[in-house]
Structure 1
Amino acid sequence: MKGKMGRMMVMVVVMSCMLRAAVTELCNPQDKQALLQIKKEFGNPTTLASWLPTTDCCNRTWQGVLCDTDTKTYRVNDLDLSDLNLPKPQPIPPSIGNLPYLNILSLTRTPNLVGPIPSTLTKLTKLHYLYISHTNVTGNIPDFFSQIKTLVTLDFSYNNLSGKLPPSISSLPNLVGITFDGNRISGPIPDSYGSFSNLFTSMTISRNRLSGKIPATLANLNLSFVDLSRNMLEGDASVFFGAKKNTQKINLAKNSLAFDLGKVGLSKNLEGLDLRNNHIYGTLPQGLTALKFLHRLNVSFNNLCGEIPQGGNLQRFDESSYVHNKCLCGSPLPPCKP
């Protein structure tokens, strides 16, 4: 009898503890259910072993999960699914779309992440920052991202994405930067990309298969960082230059661009300029000598002529920055002929 009473007391204590835990748990039940479904769709990787149905997803013990403690809503607003050891190739779980308060979503450094980007992400109407990088995700960059008006940053670098750049994302009112490096994106840069209302941080689409001419509309942009290197772009890229712009770095290396470099204006904030391996002609702008922050310059393998300006930070660059041009001369190259 005493043994039976003891067992009953233990059960009462256990149930009391479970009830107390349920009452004090901060994690929203719908969010918790969505997270556990995501874990299941991923094949229950050991990286997510801390995601247990018996614990609170908002107590900072769930790997990569953060809840909104500022507003005391305790909805999941930051999900970092990076470095997952997926047991086999898996697509992005559609259940991620069932976390409606997400502000930041990171899916990075997971080679076993495959397949297209699911349309359920359009349900994330509060999403500001989306990072899907260093995976084997395939397919196009979907047009449906234009529906998430809150987006500030899109980073899809180093995946296996293909197809063309979606023109529609230029309608996003808050987007400040796009990073699509290291994919297999082809075709031209859309004319509409000159109508980004807020794109001032970066446009980096290097190491892809972009072709055609750079739209003249891109002159409307005032970008801090431009990297379109290692593509097959042609024609005039002077649209990225301007004395009134705040540009810090321009990398257009290894394309087929051709324009008169001597006629471009230079941002006083310019730190890096890489134009190697193009068909750029004209002279080097005298304004290069006035740039206080310039620490990287490479104009080699072009059709430039004339004397290299002397002064300022230009003296720090050796001949490798200037070699293999049509008739560029002066220190550190051989002297110009009289």
Structure 2
Amino acid sequence: MKKQLGDSNILRNWIKGFEYCEIGFNKPPNSLVYLACTSTGRVSNLRIQNLDFYAPFPNAICSLTELNSLEIYNWTGLHGQIPSCISKLVNLRSLVITKTSISGSLPSFSKNTNLIGITLSNNHLSGTIPPSLSTLPNLHLLDLSSNYLCGEIPKGGNMGQFNAANFANNTCLCGNPLPTCFNSAHTSAPAPAPVSTTMFDSAPVPAPVSITIFESTPAPEMAPDSNSEFLSPRDLDTEILLLQMKKQLGDPGFLGNWVIDAICGFTELEYLEIYHLPGLHGLIPSCISKLVNLQILLITNTSLSGSVPGFSNNTNLNVIFLRNNHLNGTIPPSLSTLPPNLSSLDLSSNYLCGEIPQGGNMWKFNAANFANNACLCGNPLPPCFNLAPAPSP
């Protein structure tokens, strides 16, 4: 890989026998290449950011077969195509390639069935979106915006959960959630466009339990279960929790067939996602700490207020997205103590204040992850100057 990148100076310490696990290779002011490893010394996470030289995409990455997370940020000199051999990375869960000069078509990702997140925004990608994206069973985050993509957006699978912003600023994409296609042939996209990917750093797991709440997606009508008297005790417990949750949500009509702070009772929960529900208000309950299996927490575009929970017991978290809410107070220091698997954090567009915690994984996150808050300060934002946390707005 070092050779394919032209023996870059930032990788000067990559020589035979060098130590690479949990080590970042830096070049001032803010260039970084960081690797994390499995217990057997295989590379599991690779993060590259802010490099300033010209190089093709290194195909050697495809030989890192234990890779769970691949992130490349702000490297405009990176060019060429995303290689088709990326399909060999069957353990990959998070792919982020953003603000590069990568061009050509999107890989199919048909064999990358563990992928949770794909971020390929602000690149030079062209052509159509491969239909195989709709077959990825665990895909919950997708951003293909600001490229040169064209043609109809694939339907089915998890594609219904993504909104127009995830496909914005492309050449001629159409179809839900964008405007309808009218005699739109699947043309090859014009010029190549830059690419970006976001990775979520965690080991492959069995099919997760998940809850996703969408404002605009009613639950399907369920026929009465003639065998309900044979429900197992576990099923009965789940039924009670769902009924409590429905009641707490005000018995909305689209939940007519199931009667739901009850979320904290789902102790096996791995994914919790709430999108575009501006009528949802109150606090994120502290009992969320009971969800020790939680890996992905996404709550965006709601009216939830109060402080950010500590998450100190949620040591399996890979992703925390709490943007575009009404959260206030300070960021809890315990976020900096979560294990290395926390690879994505977004607290932007809230009312948070005070100094951003330092240490742990916090160095991974950039200013955009904390933008548009009341008075946050400290790396990666400007320094704090005798700033006391502001009261709740």
- TM, length-normalised to structure 2: 0.44
Shift of 1:103: 0.7
Write the deviation string for residues 13-70 of structure 1: whole angstroms up to 9, x where unpaired: xxxxxxxxxxxxxxxxxxxxxxxxx11101112222332324212262545333335x
Change (3 A) 1:52 1:59: farther
Shift of 1:81: 1.9
| AA in 2 matched with 1:163 | G
Unaligned runs of 5+ in 2: 27-32, 182-213, 219-253, 256-272, 282-301, 306-323, 326-393
Question: Following superposition of structure 1 onto structure 2, how do residues 160-175 of structure 1 map, counting pairs within 5 Å?
Answer: 160-175=124-139
Match of 2:361 in 1: none
- Of 35, 48, 51, 1:66 maps to 35
| 1:185 partner SS | strand
Tell me the distance in 1 between the aligned counterparts of 2:133 and 2:34: 28
Change (3 A) 1:293 1:54: closer
Question: Following superposition of structure 1 onto structure 2, how do residues 163-312 of structure 1 map, counting pairs within 5 Å?
Answer: 163-190=127-154, 192=155, 194-196=156-158, 204-214=166-176, 233-234=179-180, 241-242=216-217, 248-249=275-276, 268-269=279-280, 292=303
Tell me the distance in 2 between the aligned counterparts of 1:148 and 1:173: 10
Change (3 A) 1:112 1:54: same
Match of 2:89 in 1: 124
Tell me the distance in 2 between the aligned counterparts of 1:182 and 1:175: 20
Name which structure has the greater RCO, CA cutoff 8 Å, separation 6+: 2
Q: Is the 8 A contact 1:68 1:76 kept in 2?
A: yes
Unaligned runs of 5+ in 1: 1-37, 216-227, 250-265, 271-290, 297-338
Shift of 1:126: 0.9
Match of 2:385 in 1: none
Tell me the distance in 2 between the aligned counterparts of 1:75 and 1:177: 26
| AA in 2 matched with 1:42 | L
Number of aligned residues: 197
1:82 is aligned to 2:49 = yes
1:149 is aligned to 2:109 = no
| AA in 1 matched with 2:69 | I
- Quick check: which one's strand share is greater? 2
- Quick check: which one's helix share is greater? 1
Change (3 A) 1:201 1:104: farther
Tell me the distance in 1 between the aligned counterparts of 2:67 and 2:101: 23
1:47 is aligned to 2:10 = yes
Q: Is the 8 A contact 2:45 2:68 kept in 1?
A: yes
Tell me the distance in 2 between the aligned counterparts of 1:120 and 1:293: 43
Tell me the distance in 2 between the aligned counterparts of 1:240 and 1:209: 29
| AA in 2 matched with 1:178 | L
